[in-house]
Each structure stands twice: as structure tokens, then as C-alpha cells.
């Protein structure tokens, strides 16, 4: 077992990483957190795979068997679905002492956190992420969101969970495409923060992709440690935390232009990182070339290098970027690399992105 702490004064919390830990959660919630009631929020597909273990533990601890299911994936991150969850929480008689436990991937983490932060002005959230992307990114750091027709994650809050409970064995059943997409977020934190971890990924990518327990646990742990450190330094993204958006400006635009079903979030981030790394080179922000190393590692992981129809769709991508949350006074806070392991944010006017290439 290993644990990582997110240090945020009275909102500090533990991230526990351990294979086959789902059944234990109920006893820990009851024993360490004094919880007397939980509602489990999950999706139908994840419920089939992982809920029985988790529920058995919650029931053994006397924490009830209430369960709310929402549709899978990004399409469920809407105010309409959130409204349905509020209705069910009211019907179940959830109160301010109820802990909402979210079991699922990144979209479920975002939606559950949003509901938990707004229901009764905020109830406790526990994240139990079941995809690699959710384990290393979405479940940690307290960002919650639903989407708006004009853009992804435009409505949301900061609401730190009370506990994050990561079972790397849950990834054994994850489709390979989802696993690869999650690896993009692992590469991201290495690229912006830790050159030694990046080099380790270059040595160990295949072992992690084979989901060998030790390398996989190391990759998850180091990614989570970096995220916890950054969030501990800048919870509300006033500065440093923006570095975690490396690859996301173009990534979100790629998702918006190509459709959330067609391109996974991690795939879009992978392409966005290559774009941002090349832009770092063409704007001479970087001392020595970095994009080739990043592109090579992402290619070995099996992630795409460029969006389909980039030349025809260039304007559409720029238009999508213009509604991004990171736009201030007409300029985009673009995360660029100074070297592998060190990043910076530079304001770039949207037209300046035309200098970028895949």
C-alpha cells in the first residue's frame, strides 16, 4: 500500500493506492472518517465491473446500499444529468452528513464532484477512479465540471474530495485505447515537472503498457505525487497549477472540433502536447529541442500525433480555442516547455497559434 497526501490546511486529504482495495473502503470511511451514510454514484458499465466489491464493503460497514447510476462518458457531464442526480439524492433523503462516493472514470469524477459541491451547498465527496486518466488526474485536485454546449468544463467548482481511493487492479479490465489515453496525462506531468520521471517512462513505457503491477503502480504513484504537490502549492490555479494544462488548450479544441466520442480526452491531450512542444521550439522558449522526445514517447504508447484534417480544420480549432477558459484579455495562457521537466505559461494571441504545427 502507498499513500500520498494533498496538503491544503483543513482540506488536506489522503490518496491511497493499493491493489484490490475496493472492499476496504467502507471500513475506512466508517473507522477513520466517522461516516454513517454513503450514496454510491457510478455508471452502468463500471457498476457491473467494480461496484459489487465496493458495495459489499460499504454494506459490511453498515453504510447502506444506495446507488445512483448515470450514463457513461463525457455525454453525461451536463446540468440535465446533474439535475436527475439531485432528484435522486433528495428521494434517498441524503443530508449534509452523507458522503457521495464516485466510482468511475474522468467524466464521472467531474460530474460527481460537481454534484457533491453544489448539493445542499456542498457535501463530502470520495473519489474511487477506475480509469488510468481518472486515477492520475481527474480524481485528484478538486476540479469539478459539467460541459456547456459552447465548450467543455465551462461550468464547475473547486471542491476537494475527502479521500481518493485508487485500485490499480481496476485497470486490468480497462480497454487498451482508454489505458493509452490515460498515459497521456502521466507523460504530461513528467514533461512539465520531472525530467527523471520522463526518462523513467522512456525506459519503462512498454512494461507500464503491459500493466505489470510494479511499473504500473510506480507510474500512478509518481504522477499522483506530482499532481498533489502542484495542487498543494496552487489549489485555485492562480499560477503554477496552470502548468497542468500542458497540451490541453489545443487538446480541448481538438475534442470540440472532432467530437468527444471520436477522440478520447487523453488522445487530444497527446496531440495538444506535441503542438505545444513544437510551438515552444518555434517561439524559441525552449533551449534545446523537446518535441521529438515527446512525440517519440507518445508514439510508443500508441497515441495519435496530429488531429485528422488539421489543415482544413485549422480555423475551426482556433475558433474553439477562443472560448477556452484560459483566454484572458484576448490572449491565451499557453503552457510551453523550457525543457523536459520545466514549463512556463505565456500569453499568446489566438493568431499566434497559427505559428504552431503538428
**244 counts as binding ligand GLY under rule CB under 6 A:** yes
DSSP 352: G
- CB proximity list for 251: less than 8 A, separation 6 or greater: 265, 268, 269, 270, 271, 272, 273
* Residue 47 vs 254, nearer CB to ligand GLY: 254
| Closest distance of CB 242 from ligand GLY, Å | 8
* Residue 142 vs 304, nearer CB to ligand GLY: 142
**225 counts as binding ligand GLY under rule CB under 6 A:** no
Q: Of 80, 121, 150, 311, which residue is the catalytic one?
A: 121
CA–CA distance, 139 with 15 (Å, rounded to integer): 9
Under 8 Å between Cβ of 260 and 164: no
* Residue 215 vs 247, nearer CB to ligand GLY: 247
Q: Of 159, 180, 218, 241, which residue is the catalytic one?
A: 241
CA distances in angstroms from 46 to 97, 119, 293, 352, listed in the order given: 25, 23, 35, 42
Under 8 Å between Cβ of 252 and 147: no
* Residue 241 vs 278, nearer CB to ligand GLY: 241
Q: Of 227, 264, 278, 317, which residue is the catalytic one?
A: 227
Q: Which stretch binds ligand GLY (CB under 6 A): 16-24, 137-145, 200-208, 290-298?
A: 137-145
Under 8 Å between Cβ of 2 and 17: yes
**218 carries an active-site annotation:** no
Residue 112: alpha-carbon gap to chain centroid: 13
**137 counts as binding ligand GLY under rule CB under 6 A:** yes
**74 counts as binding ligand GLY under rule CB under 6 A:** no
Cell reading at 68: 445512483
**77 counts as binding ligand GLY under rule CB under 6 A:** no
**236 carries an active-site annotation:** no
* Residue 41 vs 244, nearer CB to ligand GLY: 244
**351 carries an active-site annotation:** no
Taking CB under 6 A as the criterion, the residue among 26, 141, 247, 272 binding ligand GLY is 141
Residue 13: alpha-carbon gap to chain centroid: 17
**241 counts as binding ligand GLY under rule CB under 6 A:** yes
- CB proximity list for 301: less than 8 A, separation 6 or greater: 180, 183, 184, 187, 205, 209, 270
Q: Give the residue numbers annotated as catalytic, written as ranges.
A: 121, 143, 185, 227, 237, 241, 245, 248, 252, 265
Q: Which spans of this chain sit near ligand GLY (rule: CB under 6 A)?
A: 137, 141, 143, 241, 244
Amino acid at each position: 500500500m502507498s499513500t500520498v497526501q494533498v496538503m491544503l490546511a483543513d482540506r488536506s486529504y489522503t490518496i491511497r493506492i493499493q491493489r484490490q482495495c475496493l472492499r476496504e473502503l467502507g471500513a475506512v470511511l466508517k473507522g477513520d472518517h466517522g461516516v454513517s451514510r454513503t450514496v454510491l454514484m457510478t455508471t452502468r458499465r463500471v457498476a457491473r465491473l467494480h461496484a459489487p466489491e465496493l458495495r459489499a464493503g460499504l454494506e459490511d460497514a453498515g453504510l447502506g446500499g444506495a446507488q445512483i447510476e448515470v450514463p457513461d462518458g463525457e455525454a453525461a457531464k451536463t446540468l440535465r444529468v446533474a439535475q436527475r442526480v439531485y432528484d435522486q439524492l433528495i428521494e434517498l433523503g441524503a443530508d449534509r452528513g452523507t458522503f457521495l462516493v464516485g466510482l468511475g472514470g474522468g467524466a464521472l469524477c467531474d460530474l460527481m464532484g460537481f454534484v457533491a459541491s453544489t448539493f445542499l451547498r456542498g457535501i463530502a465527496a470520495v473519489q474511487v477512479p477506475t480509469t488510468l486518466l481518472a486515477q492520475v488526474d481527474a480524481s485528484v485536485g478538486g476540479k469539478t465540471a459539467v460541459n456547456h454546449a459552447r465548450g467543455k468544463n465551462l461550468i464547475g467548482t473547486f471542491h476537494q474530495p475527502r479521500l481518493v481511493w485508487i485500485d490499480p487492479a481496476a485497470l486490468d479490465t480497462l480497454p487498451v485505447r482508454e489505458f493509452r489515453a490515460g498515459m497521456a496525462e502521466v507523460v504530461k506531468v513528467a514533461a512539465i515537472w520531472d525530467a527523471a520521471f520522463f526518462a523513467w517512462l522512456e525506459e519503462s513505457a512498454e512494461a507500464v503498457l503491459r500493466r505489470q503491477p510494479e511499473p504500473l503502480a510506480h507510474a500512478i504513484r509518481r504522477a499522483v505525487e506530482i499532481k498533489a504537490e502542484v495542487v498543494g502549492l496552487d489549489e485555485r490555479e492562480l499560477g503554477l497549477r496552470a502548468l497542468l494544462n500542458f497540451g490541453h488548450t489545443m487538446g480541448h479544441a481538438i475534442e470540440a472540433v472532432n467530437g468527444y466520442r471520436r477522440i478520447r480526452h487523453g488522445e487530444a491531450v497527446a496531440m495538444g502536447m506535441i503542438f505545444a512542444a513544437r510551438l515552444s521550439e518555434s517561439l524559441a522558449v525552449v533551449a534545446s529541442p523537446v518535441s521529438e522526445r515527446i512525440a517519440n514517447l507518445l508514439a510508443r504508447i500508441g497515441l495519435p500525433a496530429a488531429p485528422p484534417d488539421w489543415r482544413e480544420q485549422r480555423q475551426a480549432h482556433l475558433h474553439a480555442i477562443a472560448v477556452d477558459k484560459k483566454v484572458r484579455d484576448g490572449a491565451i495562457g499557453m503552457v510551453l516547455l523550457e525543457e523536459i521537466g520545466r514549463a512556463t505559461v505565456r500569453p499568446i494571441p489566438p493568431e499566434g497559434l497559427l505559428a504552431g504545427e503538428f
